[in-house]
Chain A
């Protein structure tokens, strides 16, 4: 066996096999998934709430006196979206982990909350654009038939909006998954952190970092494939 092959084999052994290190990569991947899903849940809830406030505000009819409560909520939502989109995610994580929740040891909770709040700002814009993309005539037709605002939203507007924004929401999910690598800065043992720790132990950089790059890539490719299938299914059920 040539020497270079031995060297690669040895590096692989040290990085993944020795001391059951592959288990640590798996648990790191698990942490990254958990953070992604938790943050997505928070992001969608926040996103829907902010989107409803902002569309309600935008759709207030001219010539009527504006609703005070909605105006106030709208300002709060605007500040939220501006601040979150205007600052780097890593800085937001550092502030959450090392300032606001400096005393807390619940690192995964902090990570989920930070990424969720971040994602909510982007998701709200996606959902808002989805609702705005629907012809106002749809709401008018629904209301003219005597149906209430929530019923028309649920039966007519939201189903059409979701279909329009599904690709954008899918992108957000993928971005979120990749961004979980930033939670390393607050000390959470996600996939990236595991690679850094193992590199520090073994002095092997190539294997752990190319290894996790491959893992991120494979997960993203699987997600892309699944989203494509979902989209095609939705379009077909529409028979358009």
Chain B
């Protein structure tokens, strides 16, 4: 699916991104980019700003200053249509955030239908296709409360995929799962990666980061303190903070 020509063009471009909560500086002048087809893994200690960085990309957090482009459109500008942009950026949350008042099928089809991208029939068909891919087609008419954590997260991924997004943002998708369910979710993500999906993933699963990531960012104290290939980051870390962090988590 990834076409070689688009590899170089930045799908998301971030320039001088700064985010403060009150007086606390959380993101400090970050400039980054995510290319089409890239799998960018974001690591760093707790409270370093990883989630905030990810959430700025789809404007769940409004940057204090700086600019973000998606697909050559400045999404931080006043007149950007944020709902339209978010249709093309899926997000998967640590706590799944499925809608408990809707069946699995309605969880998946609600957004495509309510944003006018698909008819109910088209959305239903898409939902069943995707559910089949993650092996949960028999759960279509169940409510989220009856599912296991791993099943919920696979449904949440399907829900994001149903919008046909250009990029998927994952914020610690396996951190809230029982250990025996981590594998099934990572497996789905691995398949998405192989299909060429552009992904930005905040995770503590270093094995997965190493295997799937095309680039790793180490965020600490609101800055990207080191970045590189998984090999560079995990085998030859240069920054002492990164060395220290890795010695704790590996």
Residues of A within 8 A of B143 (CB): 238-240
Q: Are B99 and A138 closer than 8 Å at their CB atoms?
A: yes
Residues of B within 8 A of A238 (CB): 100-101, 143
Separation of A156 and B159 alpha carbons in the complex (Å): 15
Q: Are B90 and A144 closer than 8 Å at their CB atoms?
A: yes
Known: A137-B95, A140-B93. A146 touches B20 (CB 8 A): no
Q: Are B60 and A143 closer than 8 Å at their CB atoms?
A: yes
Stretch at the interface among A56-64, A104-112, A193-201: A56-64
CB contact between B111 and one of A61, A62, A135, A145 (< 8 Å): that residue: A145
Q: Are B99 and A61 closer than 8 Å at their CB atoms?
A: no
Q: Are B83 and A63 closer than 8 Å at their CB atoms?
A: no
Q: Are B87 and A146 closer than 8 Å at their CB atoms?
A: yes
Q: Are A138 and B97 closer than 8 Å at their CB atoms?
A: yes
Binary contact track B82-123/A, C-beta < 8 Å → 1, others 0: 011111011101010111111000000011001100000000
For residue A147, CB closer than 8 A to chain B, the reply is yes
Separation of A233 and B163 alpha carbons in the complex (Å): 33
Residues of B within 8 A of A62 (CB): 21-22
- Count residues of A near B (Cβ-Cβ below 8 Å): 25
Q: Give chain A interface residues in 50-72, CB to chain B under 8 Å.
A: 61-64
Residues of B within 8 A of A63 (CB): 19-22, 64
Measured between C-beta atoms, what is the minimum distance from A151 to chain B in Å? 5
For residue B136, CB closer than 8 A to chain A, the reply is no
Known: A63-B22, A238-B101. A147 touches B83 (CB 8 A): yes
Known: A144-B60, A146-B111. A240 touches B86 (CB 8 A): no
Q: Are B64 and A145 closer than 8 Å at their CB atoms?
A: no
CB contact between B60 and one of A135, A140, A151, A160 (< 8 Å): that residue: A140
Q: Are A143 and B93 closer than 8 Å at their CB atoms?
A: no
CB contact between A143 and one of B64, B86, B163 (< 8 Å): that residue: B86
Known: A155-B110, A160-B100. A61 touches B87 (CB 8 A): no
Residues of B within 8 A of A159 (CB): 101
Residues of A within 8 A of B115 (CB): 145-147
For residue A148, CB closer than 8 A to chain B, the reply is yes
Separation of A50 and B76 alpha carbons in the complex (Å): 31
Known: A61-B62, A144-B58. A151 touches B114 (CB 8 A): yes
A151 to chain B: closest residue by CB = B114
For residue A8, CB closer than 8 A to chain B, the reply is no
Q: Are B101 and A145 closer than 8 Å at their CB atoms?
A: no
For residue B80, CB closer than 8 A to chain A, the reply is no
Most chain B CB within a 10 A radius of its CB, from A146, A151, A155, A163: A146
Q: Are A141 and B100 closer than 8 Å at their CB atoms?
A: no
For residue B160, CB closer than 8 A to chain A, the reply is yes
Measured between C-beta atoms, what is the minimum distance from B132 to chain A in Å? 21
Residues of A within 8 A of B93 (CB): 137, 140-141
Separation of A102 and B156 alpha carbons in the complex (Å): 61
Separation of A138 and B96 alpha carbons in the complex (Å): 9
List residues of chain A with CB under 8 Å of any chain B CB: 61-64, 135, 137-138, 140-148, 151, 155-156, 159-160, 163, 238-240
List residues of chain B with CB under 8 Å of any chain A CB: 19-22, 58, 60-62, 64, 83-87, 89-91, 93, 95, 97-102, 110-111, 114-115, 143, 145-146, 156, 159-160, 163
28 A-B contacts (beta carbon < 8 Å): A62-B21, A62-B22, A63-B21, A63-B64, A135-B95, A138-B97, A140-B60, A140-B97, A141-B93, A141-B99, A144-B60, A144-B86, A144-B90, A145-B111, A145-B163, A146-B85, A146-B115, A146-B163, A147-B83, A147-B110, A155-B114, A156-B99, A156-B102, A159-B101, A160-B100, A238-B100, A238-B101, A239-B146
Apart from A144-B60, A163-B101, what are 18 other A-B pairs with CB-CB below 8 Å? Answer: A63-B21, A64-B62, A135-B97, A138-B99, A140-B60, A141-B99, A142-B99, A144-B160, A145-B111, A145-B159, A146-B84, A146-B85, A146-B111, A147-B110, A147-B114, A160-B100, A238-B100, A240-B100
